[in-house]
Amino acid sequence: MALAARLWRFLPFRRGAAPGSRLSAGTSGSRGHCGPCRLRGFEVMGNPGTFKRGLLLSALSYLGFETYQVISQAAVVHATAKVEEILEQADYLYESGETEKLYQLLTQYKESEDAELLWRLARASRDVAQLSRTSEEEKKLLVYEALEYAKRALEKNESSFAAHKWYAICLSDVGDYEGIKAKIANAYIIKEHFEKAIELNPKDATSIHLMGIWCYTFAEMPWYQRRIAKMLFATPPTSTYEKALSYFHRAEQVDPNFYSKNLLLLGKTYLKLHNKKLAAFWLMKAKDYPAHTEEDKQIQTEAAQLLTSFSEKN
């Protein structure tokens, strides 16, 4: 507005002033001297009315641009507030175990450019895929869909530990449909993203747990898969049960009892290391873990079966 006022003062014609009065510098007696002066001014400026309209348009254009900026900034603030609201709803549904409602909520925003929303959508897609009532055909579609959302989340924000984590998880899931060669070939990529997630957030127990699973998987890899790995890599991915155990314990230290599967895998890893006493301790904790999800129920059943086999052998 200040600029508009300054421009208005310099307009050649104002209310209450005679046309041309700002252009005349002399009196009636000096008309012969000022004529050429005025003519030169008109040669530069053209018609005074045109000049006035030009300045007015410039002022209005500037004001229009300022208004546009204000509206744009307000729109960004509104959009940000809306995303935050969606994320709050999504987190509430996730904590409540409302898997399908969460997926329905987030798929409305699948074209979003927000990394936080996209990795949550990847997670929700994967969770729906793992429901027992999801058909095999639908499960496959959801697994690939989840990978695409995770990939986009990572592209939007490479500093998001959750984007790295869920990209690695979804890439591993896709390997189940692309064969053992693809799964082994992606192993180093998966490990790299889990390690990056831990680096970005050392307090995320889930990322640490997943590195434990990576180590456990390659520690128990059967001989024929090791042979394939040797064909694909000069130095194929390998690990040990001891390394897996260290990650599972580290996850438990960061967030005790955060996940029933971590308890189960502590028990199973101790079994692999022939420590039945500690195996029984962790399997009992897994069996007694409150079942909030279908996965928790499956883990309870597996832990109970392993404990039963203990008692039978003893």
Q: Please give the model's pTM, rounded to 2 decimal places.
A: 0.71
Structure confidence at residue 32 (pLDDT) = 39
Q: What is the pLDDT of residues 287-296, one digit of tens each?
A: 999 988 778 9
Taking the CB of residue 108, how many other CB atoms lie within 10 A of it? Answer: 10
Domains along the sequence of the chain with CATH: 77-201 (1.25.40.10)
Residues of the chain scoring pLDDT < 70: 1-81, 312-314
* Residue of 255, 185, 247, 181 lying closest to 214 (CA atoms): 247
Whole-Å CA distances, 74 to 47, 77, 124, 282: 41, 5, 31, 53
Structure confidence at residue 185 (pLDDT) = 85
Alpha carbons 120 and 122: distance in angstroms, whole number: 5
Alpha carbons 206 and 255: distance in angstroms, whole number: 9
- To the nearest whole number, what is the mean pLDDT of the chain? 81
Q: Are 277 and 227 in contact, with CB atoms under 8 Å apart?
A: no
Alpha carbons 42 and 56: distance in angstroms, whole number: 18
Whole-Å CA distances, 201 to 118, 161, 208, 264: 19, 6, 10, 24
Alpha carbons 265 and 250: distance in angstroms, whole number: 13
State the DSSP code for 51: H
